[in-house]
Amino acid sequence: MLVTNKQPNPNRQESQRRATWFKTLNISRLTLASPLAYVIAFLLTFLIGGVVIYALTGQNPISVYSSFFSYSFFSQYGILEVLAKATPIIIAGAGMIIAFRCGLWNLGAEGQMAIGAIVATAIGVNLNLPAGILLPIIFLASFIGGALWSGIAGFLKTRFGVHEMLSTLMLNYIALKLLEYMISGPLSMPHPNYPRSSEILLQAQMPFLQYPLNVTFLIALALIPIVWFIINRTSLGYRLQAVGFGREAARLAGMDIAKLTMIVMLISGGISALGGTVEVVGDFMRMERNVTGGYGFTAIVVVMLAREEIIAMPFAAFFISGMLVGASSLTLAGIPASFSQILIGLLLLCVVFAGYIERWLKQRWEYAGKIAC
Amino acid sequence: MEETSTPEIVLEVKGISKHFGSVQALDCVSLSFRKGEIHTLLGENGAGKTTLMNIIYGLYQKDAGEILVNGKVYEIRSPRDSLQLGIGMVPQFFKLVPDLSILENIYLFMEKTKFIIDHKGAKAIIQQLSEMFGFGLEEMVDREVGSLTEGEKQKVEILKILARGSKTLLFDEATNVLAPNELDSFLQIVKDLNKSGYSIIYITHRLQEALQISDRISAFRKGKLVGTISGKEATLEKLTVMMVGAELEKTSAVMPQEKGASILEVKDLNVIDERGLLALKNVSCQFYEGEIVGLAGIEGNGSNYLAEALIGLRRVKSGKVIYRGSDITRSLPLHRMKLGMSLMPSSNALVPLFSVRDNSILDYPEKPPFSRHGLLDRKAITAHAKRIVTDYQVQTPSILLQAVKLSGGNRQRLAIGRKIESNPKFMIAYHPTKGLDIKSQSFIYEKLLTMKKAGMTVLFMGTDLDELLLVSNRLMVIYRGEIVGVFDDLRSVSKFDIGVLMTGGARCEGVESVGN
């Protein structure tokens, strides 16, 4: 505290000296901060995971990991399964990204998927129409159902200032209980062994490309350019990003933030709900308790991993899906399958941590650059 | 003026400088504070007085200079250091935990010598202090702070630093939060504290307060110390001169002009702030086509509320806003902008992470040709952005550069270009040149004057009188939410006249009644 004479910070000189080695590569180091941070996150995840594997089972973590991923990414059936599992995750993630880009934390994809599944089942079981009419009706109705569901959170936010993070999370549990009620009550099949709905009509069942990969996967893929277009090429996308990136500037520019919040919540929830729809019409062909499979929550991880970038999101979804699919191979090594969930959670933590590393690196490097000038 | 025996100096700053970005907030300020005096730092918002306090208290780090406490140089890195040296601050915005009691709040701040909370000891100290200075909090030390009035909370803040053992007390704009009836008792408390031996540094922009309590007064302007005078010699006139600056006789060179057709009329506008107090009181005024009307007001006197209320960002409690004959009091901002109104803010005009190109249409993304049927037309936007960058001399390597990477001057050039390109008829410019270099400032004046000639009306809100007199045809003064003066012919009005009104010095005799 009583120091008065300023001494040059030795750390600064050090970073200045080290600042030179990289110049030979002739790339700005700043552009490398982000990939580097990701590499650190992945290494850290599998390092910690490896320590746990070794501590629990005494097996070589590398061989466990290689069997873990070789099934997911290097066997034909494994790959198909990975893509199939990624389908609802991608759809839920696409809906979520629209909200995130507007600065709205819609964490309700799981519940919105449940609503989508309920609507799809209710129509798919009862409405006997040709496929060409029935399927569009199912998708449209699911969209509307999900939109209204997340619209509750939008209404609470714009009218009473309830934070959407809380309301959407809470609505998840209500929607999942509603789903359970539906399969044991109004939508229950006659004399079920366990709570489940009747099978949906044959014309509502979407064909498989090659089992287990369903045509719904193509729908998920088609959604990516559509959402990209909405975000980047429409005035709605422009405005929602303006609010997300500069709320005060958007307000001063006269944007109706409440109205925009409502619109974005409706679209986001509507798209996410389709994740539940495809599980009904492209996988289960009926509704069961685990029809949403936690994919709505997994999508949160995927969106964070992709840093809310719509183009990167499917790849993050494939990776996470691969970890989920590979879980079954873990049991062969005597490790519980749920260990892959632990790895996913760990990965998310490490990616968040990597974000800090990245910011720190950028600050440091930008600073070092200035000193050198 | 000086006493014969050299007074003991408790605190001294030498050559303190501090800048924020391109703005020099403090420029080589040297000042000494004597033991047992009430020393007032006087100046407008942004004059540098609060920055100096924050440096002494350790909230900011100085760029240059030194701080001497009792004659010894100390490096103050955080409030912990300054508190240790016996310097405590009563902040402008209270830092209290609403759910904790008065006792707990103060205890949190006291130096802990024991691990176990010594409730009885702390309570005794606090009650004793409260009684000594007539705070009247003795019986309610267990009440939750959240249920107290602003005046009582302030007393808790004072008790905090007294209990911590501070001998030099800094008050930062302490009367801002007080209701008018709490003012006198507060000033009495400050005097009592002073009598019991505490040295007081009192920051304010209000001349009357300075005159009432000060032993000495130091005035700041634009980051510089103007001078120090003793409280006995200080008069309203002298202080205004110090605060507003030299060339007091200076008046405007702008000739009054024939009033055009009426464009906007404000009738008895009342607006409530976040605390539920009146931020604007019965504001009435009228604007005509093709004029620039200055609104002189020190920050915190309601001009920001007027700006937001006029553009529709803030709800009006009562009163009317009439634009070209139609009542727009309840219209949405977007509707008002479509009618030709526009708000040019001092900051936050751009989305920081958007590119220059994307920022160029922020007020009108829906408008053709920038979008049709909800789809953006990138070509049209790019052409528009390029035109603004050229016409308004926005220096940027690319229109794809993120706005956050532009300098302040270039940001405001981009913003004003965007506003003017939408061809507004009535522009509210709220401190549009704040923090800009002279070149960018005069660029903005130039553009506004050009637009005025083309028939646009500008309501130019600002604090800097040189600037206001340079561009305005007419001028209004706002003080504590009221319009306290309207000048139609600025050639006969001096900076002094306006400065007195701005600082609440006096209500000008013979001020035109508002709104005719």
Least confident residue range of A212-226, A303-317, B442-456, B487-501: B487-501
- Angstroms from A237 CA to nearest CA on chain B: 9
Q: State both tokens at A222.
A: 């088609």
Return the top range by mean pLDDT from A56-65, A71-80, B174-183, B378-387: B378-387
pLDDT exceeds cutoff 50 at B516: no
Of A3, A236, A246, nearest to B75 by CB-CB distance is: A3
Looking up tokens 């009738």 gives: B267
How many CB pairs (< 8 A) connect A and B?
Answer: 82
Q: State both tokens at A265.
A: 């919540």
Higher-pLDDT residue of B397 and A110 is: A110
A259 touches chain B (CB under 8 A): no
User: Cα separations (Å) of B270 from A173, B228, B311, B341, B461?
Assistant: 46, 39, 15, 20, 18
Compute the C-alpha angle B303/B305/B310, nearest 5°.
95
The residues near A39 (Cβ < 8 Å, ≥ 6 apart) are none
A241 touches chain B (CB under 8 A): yes
Residues of chain A contacting B331 with CB distance shorter than 8 Å: none
Section B468-491 average pLDDT: 91
Q: What number of other Cβ atoms are within 10 A of residue A15's Cβ? A: 17
How high is the pLDDT of residue A6? 43
Got the DSSP string for B286-328? EEETT-EEEEE--TTSSHHHHHHHHHTSS--SEEEEEETTEE-
Least confident residue range of A58-62, B174-178, B187-191, B374-378: B174-178
A248 touches chain B (CB under 8 A): yes
Asked, as a colleague might, if the bond just before A186 is cis with ω within 30 of 0, I would say no
Q: How many whole angstroms separate alpha carbon B140 and alpha carbon B122? A: 14
Which is nearest to B39 in space by CA: B166, B156, B169, B155?
B169
Q: Strand order of the sheet with strand B216-221?
A: B87-90, B168-172, B199-204, B38-42, B216-221, B224-230
**Every domain of chain A and the residues it spans:** 88-308
- Angstroms from B77 CA to nearest CA on chain A: 7
Q: How many whole angstroms separate alpha carbon B302 and alpha carbon B341? A: 20
Confidence of residue A29 (pLDDT cuts 50, 70, 90): low
Of B76, B362, B375, nearest to A234 by CB-CB distance is: B375
State the DSSP code for B221: E
Residues of chain A contacting B343 with CB distance shorter than 8 Å: 252, 254
- Residue pair A146/A302 in contact (Cβ under 8 Å)? The answer is no
- Angstroms from A259 CA to nearest CA on chain B: 12
Compute the C-alpha angle B290/B292/B293, nearest 5°.
125
Higher-pLDDT residue of B175 and B199 is: B199
Q: How many whole angstroms separate alpha carbon A274 and alpha carbon A266? A: 13
How high is the pLDDT of residue A17? 47
| Length, in residues, of chain B | 516
A246 touches chain B (CB under 8 A): yes
How high is the pLDDT of residue B506? 57
Residues of chain B contacting A3 with CB distance shorter than 8 Å: 75
- Residue pair B79/B57 in contact (Cβ under 8 Å)? The answer is yes
Q: State both tokens at B336.
A: 């008002």
**Every domain of chain B and the residues it spans:** 9-244, 247-340+426-436+454-516, 346-423
Residues of chain A contacting B77 with CB distance shorter than 8 Å: 1
Looking up tokens 């030194």 gives: B66
How high is the pLDDT of residue B283? 96
A2 touches chain B (CB under 8 A): yes
| ipTM for the predicted complex | 0.83
B81 touches chain A (CB under 8 A): yes
How high is the pLDDT of residue A57? 82
Residues of chain A contacting B66 with CB distance shorter than 8 Å: 4
Confidence of residue B408 (pLDDT cuts 50, 70, 90): confident
Span A236-264, pLDDT tens digits: 999 999 999 999 999 999 999 999 999 99
Residues of chain A contacting B311 with CB distance shorter than 8 Å: 254
Span B202-224, pLDDT tens digits: 998 888 888 889 999 999 988 88
Superfamily for B9-244?
A: P-loop containing nucleotide triphosphate hydrolases (3.40.50.300)
Section A192-220 average pLDDT: 95
Residues of chain A contacting B400 with CB distance shorter than 8 Å: none
A255 touches chain B (CB under 8 A): yes
Of A235, A253, A255, nearest to B374 by CB-CB distance is: A235
Asked, as a colleague might, if the bond just before B369 is cis with ω within 30 of 0, I would say yes
A373 touches chain B (CB under 8 A): no
Of B332, B348, B366, nearest to A249 by CB-CB distance is: B348
Q: Could you tell me which residues are beta bridge partners of residue A33?
A: none
Helix (H, G, I), strand (E, B) or coil at B352: coil
- Residue pair A85/A275 in contact (Cβ under 8 Å)? The answer is no
The residues near A59 (Cβ < 8 Å, ≥ 6 apart) are A53, A333, A334
Q: What number of other Cβ atoms are within 10 A of residue A179's Cβ? A: 27
- Residue pair A114/A174 in contact (Cβ under 8 Å)? The answer is no
Span B336-363, pLDDT tens digits: 999 999 999 988 999 999 999 999 999 9
- Angstroms from B122 CA to nearest CA on chain A: 28
Section A323-343 average pLDDT: 84
User: Cα separations (Å) of A307 from A93, A193, A314, A323?
Assistant: 11, 43, 12, 19
What are the φ and ψ backbone dihedral angles of B341, each rounded to 5 degrees? -90, 155
Inter-chain residue contact B376 with A234, CB threshold 8 Å:
yes
Inter-chain residue contact A238 with B337, CB threshold 8 Å:
no
pTM of the model as a whole: 0.79
- Residue pair B43/B207 in contact (Cβ under 8 Å)? The answer is no
Residue of A nearest to B338 (CA): A254
A267 touches chain B (CB under 8 A): no
- Residue pair B356/B396 in contact (Cβ under 8 Å)? The answer is yes
Q: Percent helix, strand and coil across chain B, each rounded to 5?
A: 35, 25, 40
How high is the pLDDT of residue B139? 85
- Residue pair B228/B168 in contact (Cβ under 8 Å)? The answer is no
Residue of A nearest to B366 (CA): A235
- Angstroms from B105 CA to nearest CA on chain A: 26
Inter-chain residue contact A1 with B77, CB threshold 8 Å:
yes
B195 touches chain A (CB under 8 A): no
- Angstroms from B422 CA to nearest CA on chain A: 12
Which helix (H) or strand (E) element contains residue B341? strand B341-344
Q: State both tokens at A33.
A: 């901060």
Which helix (H) or strand (E) element contains residue B27? strand B23-34
Q: Strand order of the sheet with strand B474-479?
A: B341-344, B426-430, B457-462, B292-296, B474-479, B482-487
How high is the pLDDT of residue A19? 46
Helix (H, G, I), strand (E, B) or coil at B502: helix
Residue of B nearest to A242 (CA): B351
Beta strands in B75-185 (DSSP E): 87-90, 168-172
CATH topology of domain B247-340+426-436+454-516: Rossmann fold (3.40.50)
A249 touches chain B (CB under 8 A): yes
Q: Which of B348, B359, B361, B431 is best to mutate for the A interface (most A CBs within 10 A)?
A: B348
Q: State both tokens at A50.
A: 């490896």
Mean pLDDT for chain B overall: 87
Which helix (H) or strand (E) element contains residue B479? strand B474-479
Residues of chain A contacting B68 with CB distance shorter than 8 Å: none
Residue of A nearest to B347 (CA): A249
How high is the pLDDT of residue B5? 61
How high is the pLDDT of residue B515? 35
Contacts with A, B 87-126, CB within 8 Å: none
pLDDT exceeds cutoff 50 at B512: no
Q: How many whole angstroms separate alpha carbon B221 and alpha carbon B219? A: 7
Q: How many whole angstroms separate alpha carbon B389 and alpha carbon B413? A: 8
Inter-chain residue contact B351 with A251, CB threshold 8 Å:
no
Per-residue HEC secondary structure of chain A comes to CCCCCCCCCHHHHHHHHHCCHHHHHCCCHHHHHHHHHHHHHHHHHHHHHHHHHHHHHCCCHHHHHHHHHHHHHHCHHHHHHHHHHHHHHHHHHHHHHHHHHCCCCCCCHHHHHHHHHHHHHHHHHHCCCCHHHHHHHHHHHHHHHHHHHHHHHHHHHHHHCCCHHHHHHHHHHHHHHHHHHHHHCCCECCCCCCCEECCCCHHHCCCEEECCEECHHHHHHHHHHHHHHHHHHEHHHHHHHHHHHCHHHHHHCCCCHHHHHHHHHHHHHHHHHHHHHHHHHHHHCCCECCCCCCHHHHHHHHHHHCCCCCCCHHHHHHHHHHHHHHHHHHHHCCCCCCHHHHHHHHHHHHHHHHHHHHHHHHHHHHHHHHHHC
Residues of chain A contacting B378 with CB distance shorter than 8 Å: 233
Span B61-87, pLDDT tens digits: 888 899 999 989 999 999 999 999 999
Confidence of residue A35 (pLDDT cuts 50, 70, 90): confident
In chain A, the percentage of residues whose pLDDT exceeds 90 is 67
Section A150-162 average pLDDT: 96
